[in-house]
Amino acid sequence: MTPDSPDPDAPLIRLQGVSHSYREGASSHRVLEGVDLEVARGEVLALLGRSGSGKTTLLNLLGGIDQPHAGRIEIAGQRIDRLGEPERSLFRRRHIGFVYQFFNLIPTLSLSENLALPLELNRVPPDATAARVTELLEAVGLARRADDFPDRLSGGEQQRVAIARALAHRPKLVLADEPTGNLDATTGGRILDLLSGIYRNEDQTLVLVTHSLQVAKHADRVLMLDQGRLAPPSEEIAW
């Protein structure tokens, strides 16, 4: 089974016994311990946890940026833990979109050029690229700003472009790391509504890392990462 011809009934994400550590000086710190996880196609999953609990580490493992020290990670039928770095990079380029807290737009490129980049990397023809860029700028309400550069936009507008860029190549999986953490509450709420709406129209799977209960409310399912393990949130959490 390949990412281009997956079993439609299988989970998009399957983790089995995933563990990961990082070094602090001469010592090793275990941040994930035997994590098992399945995420259905089209699901929105929110990962909650304290700072340093391993949320971003788990997201990086799902995106193939890091490799687990133990366990297996399967995305769309592909064992990405078995891939070398060039193969993981190609897999990310084709099948995964990222949304970050600090936008990570390229400052020397216009909005249109930022959105076109993932399509060009995937060798999408110029006419199709231009049409997709126009479609996305209209979807995020920035069609008239296509030739502007990121520094001309507010934080909320930059995050809207970042979301559009993450979705440009129609990835199977979108990974969002604190996508509203650098925005005020009102703007953050609008960004979440936008992200949820566009993503559902594209029929994609979204894994959202956050420390905010308000953000987690947008998810179909919420899990808490604590002491290296995943579990449903405790009943003491006030939703």
For each of the domains in the chain, give its residue range(s) and CATH number, in order of start. Answer: 13-231 (3.40.50.300)
CA neighbor of 53 nearest in space, from 209, 222, 214, 235? 209
Contact 141, 160 (CB under 8 A): yes
pLDDT digits (tens, 9 = 90+) for 73-132: 999 999 999 999 999 999 999 999 998 888 889 999 999 999 999 999 999 999 999 999
Provide the pLDDT for residue 145.
94
Mean pLDDT of the chain: 87
**pTM score, whole prediction:** 0.87
- Band of pLDDT at residue 239, cut at 50, 70 and 90: very low
Opening angle at CA 238, ends 30 and 218, nearest 5: 80
Provide the pLDDT for residue 148.
96
Quick check: 180 pLDDT over 90?
Answer: no
